[in-house]
Amino acid sequence: MEDRGQQESNEAPVNGETAEQAQPDQAAPVEQAAAPVEQAAPAEPQSLMQELLSNPSHDYRALKYGDVIDGTIMQRDRDEFLVDIGSKSEGIIPSKEYGTLTSDEINAINVGDQVLVFVVQAENSDGHTVLSIDKARQEKSWRLLQEQYDKNEIIQAQVTNYNKGGLLVNLDGVRGFVPASQVTDIRGGDDASKQADMARLVGSALSLKVIEINRHRNRLILSERMAVQERRDAMKERLIENLKEGETRQGRVSSIADFGAFVDIGGADGLVHLSEISWSRVKHPSEVLRVGDTVDVFVLSVNPTEKKIALSIKRTQPEPWSRVAMKYEIGQVVPATITQLANFGAFARIEDGIEGLIHVSELSDERVNHPREVVQEGQEVQVRIIRIDAQRRRMGLSLRRANEGGGFTMGDAAGGESVAQVEPAAQAESVAQTEPVAQVEAAASVEAVAPVEAASPVEPVSAVEPVAPAPVADEPVVAEESPAEPNDTASSI
């Protein structure tokens, strides 16, 4: 029994060893599964290193001329800035490469600030990259200007200087040129006046539009006139939508032409025709208006299709002929100014908007072939009113009767009216040729003919005629010649 127990005890470890050896296939997978776990631990730093090496952001930048990049100010000296640009070496900005900055802008740059720089040289003799703030601003401005040109936008710029041809402006480092013909505030005339206008605009801000841009040729041409016109067109559309006929608005005279004046009424120009400037006769708008004058205008018509506005200045004022009947009367002597000469007479203005005609037969007691023989345009004269027709806006005047006494009657006015109606010069001359010269000199014109024919004393003259040729004695015949009496009576009438 002891031998048997000892034998079992001796076999137990053997069986244990053989059990472990009997299952080699089951233990192997456990050892193999643990092996990858032991090898995975050192694999993490290796993959992180690969990730860092494969990340392009950690590579040194291969810089070249023309690159525009961001940098960080690391150090500032009196003559240069040291900038971190993520390259194998730092970059430097010499003082000549930030010349467009003002002293305040330079003092505002501190260590750690971000700046936009332009690569001028990839590497100099010292191994540094040469950078420029000025060229970076220019490049950024060129790109922005190109976008604004493509979008047809209006930009703002300050006038820095001028030359013979126009104005110079600065657009964040880019110098632009505005021709003098494209500036609204530069007047025409000689070179001296243009130079004075351009000198006055230095330092002012202008609204501009890019009309030509060429980056390679460093060429930038702008226009203020186009920007102003575009803005005014937009304002004009809004104004036309709200403008109504019959309104009275205040405006400013913007320009003057031979046919009228243009008035700005708040974003849009309307035309005041020559005939609508004043109630009186106006030969040219410059006689009454000046550019820049502030005037009240009456809206005559609005054409939304053609975008045209017709205005009137005179209709904002009372019509002079509406009060003629209350202010003037036939037979009144008034001062007048000769405004125009014609073959049949002269026009005279007695006040603004009221003109009358002095017929050629009413200029002088003597025969007159043309009014210029008696009066001249612009001459101040005294005239007598012989006819008033307010409805037709006509007035008959007489120069030769202005110095007559108080013997002027309505019959004289009627005679003057009949003469004044004969306006054509041919008719006036034919009437004058049919009368004796003595009657013309004695002022017995068409007006005096009618009283002679109707006068009753003519009949006794014909009755005495048989006595006149008696040859008895010459002296009594001359002394008793009766036809002289009716002629004196007629002339007195």
- Each of the 493 residues of the chain gets a pLDDT tens digit; together they read 445 444 444 444 444 444 444 444 444 444 444 445 445 445 455 566 566 556 555 555 678 888 888 889 999 888 889 999 887 778 999 988 888 788 888 888 889 999 888 898 888 888 888 999 888 888 888 889 999 999 999 999 999 999 988 999 988 878 899 999 999 888 777 788 888 889 999 999 999 999 999 988 889 999 999 998 888 888 888 888 888 888 999 999 999 999 999 999 887 889 999 989 988 778 899 988 999 899 999 999 998 888 889 999 988 888 788 788 888 888 899 999 998 899 999 999 888 888 899 999 999 988 989 999 999 998 999 999 999 988 888 899 999 888 775 445 444 444 444 333 434 333 334 333 333 333 333 333 333 333 333 333 434 333 334 444 444 334 433 333 334 443 443 333 2
Residue pointed to by tokens 């002269």: 346
* Contact between 221 and 176 (Cβ < 8 Å): yes
Kindly tell me the burial class for residue 162, based on how many C-beta atoms sit within 10 Å of its own C-beta (0-12, 13-18, 19 or more). buried
Residue pointed to by tokens 């890019």: 210
Q: Residue 384: which of 346, 360, 361, 356 has the closest Cα?
A: 356
The Cα 168–Cα 202 span in angstroms is 9
The Cα 143–Cα 170 span in angstroms is 15
Q: How far is CA 51 from its chain centroid?
A: 66
* Contact between 87 and 63 (Cβ < 8 Å): yes
Please tell me the predicted confidence (pLDDT) of residue 61.
Answer: 62
| Strands 219-223 and 91-94, sheet pairing | unpaired
| Pair of tokens at residue 226 | 């186009």
The Cα 166–Cα 198 span in angstroms is 7
Domains and CATH numbers, the chain: 68-137 (2.40.50.140), 152-228 (2.40.50.140), 243-316 (2.40.50.140), 320-440 (2.40.50.140), 458-492 (no CATH)
Counting Cα atoms < 13 Å in the Cβ hemisphere of 143 gives: 6
**Using DSSP, how many helices (H) and how many strands (E) does the chain show?**
15, 20
* Contact between 292 and 300 (Cβ < 8 Å): no
Cα 66 to Cα 88, 101, 116, 146, 430, distances in angstroms:
18, 20, 12, 17, 94
**pTM across the whole model:** 0.45
Q: How far is CA 299 from its chain centroid?
A: 19
Cα-based angle 244, 246, 247 (whole degrees, multiple of 5): 70
Residue 206: how many CB atoms within 10 A of its CB?
A: 21
* Contact between 399 and 364 (Cβ < 8 Å): yes
DSSP bridge partners of 336: 381
Q: Which residues of 10-37 are buried (b: 16+ CB within 10 A; e: fewer)?
A: eeeeeeeeeeeeeeeeeeeeeeeeeeee
Please tell me the predicted confidence (pLDDT) of residue 213.
Answer: 93
Please tell me the predicted confidence (pLDDT) of residue 185.
Answer: 85
Q: Is 258 helix (H, G, I), strand (E, B) or coil?
A: coil
Cβ neighbors of 491 (< 8 A, separation 6 or more) are: 442, 443, 444, 448
